[in-house]
Structure 1
Amino acid sequence: MTWNSGRHFLQIPGPTNVPDRVLRAMSAPTIDHRGPEFAALTLRLLAALKPVFGTSGPVVIYPASGTGAWEAALVNTLSPGDRVLCFETGHFATLWQEMARALGLTVDVVPGDWRHGADPGQLAHALAADPAHTIKAVCVVHNETSTGVTSRIPELRDALDTAGHPALLLVDTISSLASIDYRHDEWGVDVTVAGSQKGLMLPPGLSFNAISDKALAAAQSALLPRSFWHWAPILAANRRGHFPYTPATNLLFGLAEALAMLDAEGLPNVFARHARHAAATRAAVRGWGLEVLCADEREYSGSLTAVLLPEGHDADKLREVILDRFDLSLGSGLGRLGGKVFRIGHLGHFNDVTLAGTLAGVQMGLELAGVPIDPAGLGAALDVLRPR
């Protein structure tokens, strides 16, 4: 390894860089999680989370990764053998499908090419073919972290409404919450799944479910086994500011600070910042003469950009060069995209100069790895970032 000084550039699409003020908040002394001070913190947190999800309903916090929140969304709303419709938009959508099968659900998969999001037309077709309403839930990843493709959730909700179909809409926002505009209530989502380690600017370890009234009603008759993930005891304890288990106390200290930062910047400004950095990154990719994996401009991700390399070039070897020479970590290609793409994360605690440095490191790495590019890419990105 090359000796590196200065701070490591962590530009994977999560876990993301944790702001210093969040780290300081997490280093506070641990307090009694059953005492009045912690209860007051919990009640403040639960209220502050609601606008981030775009909901007036309950938000549940688990001491778990996003995978736990996936399971919670399924086991609280469904019964063994229930039919769920899942869109295959990338690696993480595929993992959620595998979990659903392992839990004893019947999974219908809408296949995809991993370059497009969930297709509202395909959903409408599937719903029209289900007049008996045997489909109990539709599972969609809002922003697919493996591909940099963002599905159009409002259009999927419109397809459900137009069909008059009662299926629940379950949406994974693990790499979009607090980075890309999202509206749980307005878009008619029944369960929103999220994690702490991306737009919320925390280490891994917290996950979330935002829950609609319809999902709460479904939970009354759901028969999949549940204990740790059961909403009812958590919601009951939360009313008093407590949890039915030991919570991740110091991560919650950090969450309070992260939510304060998001509130101070203003969510519309947060979304605009992410969109601008995404546009600058795509300008660099095109300037280099490379191809953005996402094939539909309506579905460009504000959180990350996946870049296709030309045939004959290995994206993992490129990432090795960039890490060794510039102390810069990029996301790998996952699943069927292994070795074919690298992913640039531009979400969370991030600014123009950090992005410029990231793209400069990528450009130098591409040249060192022998990938044929036009060096105008960095300049194209700076043109987008330049103040006007």
Structure 2
Amino acid sequence: MCRWAAVRSCLGDRAGATRLNSRRVEHILRSRVVNAKPRGRQFFQNPGPTNIPDRILRAMDRATLDFLSDEFMAIHRFCHAGVKRVLKTQQHLFMYASSGHGAWEASLVNLFQPGDTVLMLESGYFSESWEQMATNLGLKIERIAADWRMGVRVADVARRLEADKTHQIKAVLTVHNETATGLATPIAEIRRAIDGTKHPALLLVDTISSLGCYDFKMDAWGVDVCVGGSQKGLMLPTGMSFTGVSEKAFTLSKKPGLPRHYWNWEMMTRREPQSFVGTTPVHLFFALEESIKLIEEEGLDAIFARHRRLADATRAAVLHWGGASMGGASCTTKGVTGKVGTLELFCADPSRLSDSVTAVIVPDGHDANAMRTVALNRYNLSLGGGLGPLMGRVFRIGHMGDLNEPMLLGSLATVELAFKTSNIPYREGGVDAAIKSLAA
């Protein structure tokens, strides 16, 4: 079909279309090109769910198995042991057919009684969500408040626990890697703060967007419960979560407390290997088996180094985009403080930058979601958006899981293209800055 016929067909008026002036016709043609569905493989840089490797996709492309058969139980045991190796624990592991929120709930209902007090360390949207869940389950929440761009001060945690002479606080809850803000919390330092006050509080840690991306040492760091999920560093579809549980926490879970059934650790531990209440998600285990093989082929240390390398390159690009020459007066919008006319990293503490996701503040007066829409609809690049009060002010670049240098550089180049198309001010050359970082 010639382009004129395409216009006539589009307008549904063959006679009328021929009378359109040429400028209008060209505008319609350009609109059709711009609005066409982009071809090629989508670059998926969301901070979870993440890219699923072809090997994992192929591992799920098979007939199902009886989840009680010897063949499947061998896979289940392999996966159970493999996840414990990633967590670096020799203690308990309970797995669920759920998103990470289910594992959050499991950690709460197994350990606490109505009216118990827990100390939540503020880090962003997901610490607030976990806090809301605990409140809905009847727990009392104390919060160590923090600037979302800086994270909680460890000294504030120690000070509050030191003041709790009667040990009313039953646990400290924290998110290792706050996916909404690109900020990491130093778990080993939090444990030292607890131990330094000789407080008996448990330490519960959300590792959903850090596990498999940078180092986590459940046993060495004295973590009592860690919460994990399948769809980020483990490179699986959403739908599986788990809790690593210390012997201390497991013993406490045997006391009467909040109602539980599906999440009941004591019920699960009567089965081997600490198995599901209900039907096991067989195909997710096929995927997890392949994921563990991929992880162990590359090696955890190499995986962590790769994530740091790609994260550093991403940050180099962002810092260049918002170069000093674009600096300006300070502004605050929706609780987000930044500089007028400047793209900048949301996390303002260099020691707490995430190795799995980078959150970027767009200049005041610009809409991050509009830029993301352009990136997706025109250029087939999927980016994460801001959550809660950060919606429209922040976009997020995921750099976790199955990712390498060409994938990252292509994504960063397309972000620049989306900036230009969206008229977001930036300094050109961010991709070159990322290349220099990777080549260093």
Q: In which range does the TM-score fall when normalised by the shorter chain?
A: over 0.9
Residue 159 of structure 1: aligned partner:
193
1:173-206 CA distance string (max 9 Å, x none):
0000000111100110000000000000000000
Measure the CA separation in 1 of the matches of 2:256 and 2:363. Answer: 48
| 1:76-115 pair list within 5 angstroms | 76-115=110-149
Q: Does the residue aligned with 1:307 lie in a helix, a strand or coil?
A: strand
Matched with 2:57 is: 23
- Do the aligned residues in 2 keep the contact of 1:118 with 1:152 (CA within 8 Å)? no
2:389 aligned with 1:336, yes or no? yes
| Structure 1: tracts of 5 or more residues without a match | none
> What is the CA–CA distance in structure 2 between the aligned matches of 1:136 and 1:233, rounded to whole Å?
23
CA offset digits 1:43-88 (Å, max 9, x no partner): 1111111110010112111000000000001111111100000012
Q: Which sits farther off after the overlay, 34-43 or 88-97?
A: 34-43
Of 282, 285, 290, which residue of structure 2 is paired with 1:252? 285
TM-score normalised per structure 1: 0.98
CA–CA distance in 2 between the matches of 1:339 and 1:332? 7
Partners of 1:66 and 1:143 in 2: CA distance: 13
SS in 2 for 1:331: strand
Q: Could you tell me which residue of structure 2 aligns to residue 381 of structure 1? A: 434
Separation in 2, partners of 1:268, 1:318: 35
1:199 is matched by which residue type in structure 2?
G
Residue 358 of structure 2 corresponds to residue 305 of structure 1: yes
Q: Does 2:96 correspond to 1:62?
A: yes
Per the alignment, in what secondary structure is the counterpart of residue 111 of structure 2? coil
Q: Equivalent residue for 2:27? A: none
* Identity fraction in percent: 48
SS at 1:52 equivalent:
helix
Contact 1:42–1:238 (Cα < 8 Å) also in 2: no
Give the Å deviation of 1:3: 2.6
- Secondary structure of the residue aligned to 2:91 is coil
1:116 shift after superposition = 2.1
User: Normalising by the residue count of structure 2, what TM-score does the alignment of the two structures yield?
Assistant: 0.86
State the Cα deviation string for residues 192-243 of structure 1 (Å, max 9, x = none).
Answer: 000000000000000010010110111021401110000112122123x753
Please give the residue correspondences for 1:218-367 in structure 2 after superposition, counting only pairs within 5 Å. Answer: 218-239=252-273, 242-289=275-322, 290-367=343-420
What's the RMSD between the two structures over aligned residues?
1.1
Report the CA distance shift for 1:222/1:93 in structure 2 as closer, same or farther (over 3 A).
Answer: farther
Tell me the amino acid that sits aligned with residue 137 of structure 1.
A
Alignment of 1:114-263 (within 5 A): 114-239=148-273, 242-263=275-296
- Cα distance in 2 between the residues matched to 1:242 and 1:82: 28
Residue 21 of structure 2 corresponds to which residue in structure 1? none
C-alpha contact 2:347 2:359 (8 A) present in aligned 1: yes
- For residues 119-157 of structure 1, what are the alpha-carbon distances to aligned partners after superposition, in whole Å with 9 as ceiling and x for unaligned? 211101110110110000111000000000000000000
**CA displacement, residues 312-368 of structure 1 (integer Å, 9 cap, x when unaligned):** 111111111111221111100001111111000000000000000000000111111
Which SS does the other structure have where 2:170 is aligned? strand
Structure 2 equivalent of residue 13 of structure 1: 47
User: 1:117: how far off?
Assistant: 2.6
Aligned residues: 386
- Which residue type is aligned with residue 291 of structure 2? A
SS at match of 1:21: helix
Give the letter aligned to residue 192 of structure 2.
D
**Judging changes above 3 Å, is the alpha-carbon distance between structure 1 residues 33 and 279 closer, same or farther for their aligned structure 2 residues?**
same
- Return the alpha-carbon distance in structure 1 between the equivalents of residues 421 and 86 of structure 2: 41
Q: Give distance in 1, aligned partners of 2:116 and 2:275.
A: 33
> What is the one-letter code of the residue matched to 2:223?
V
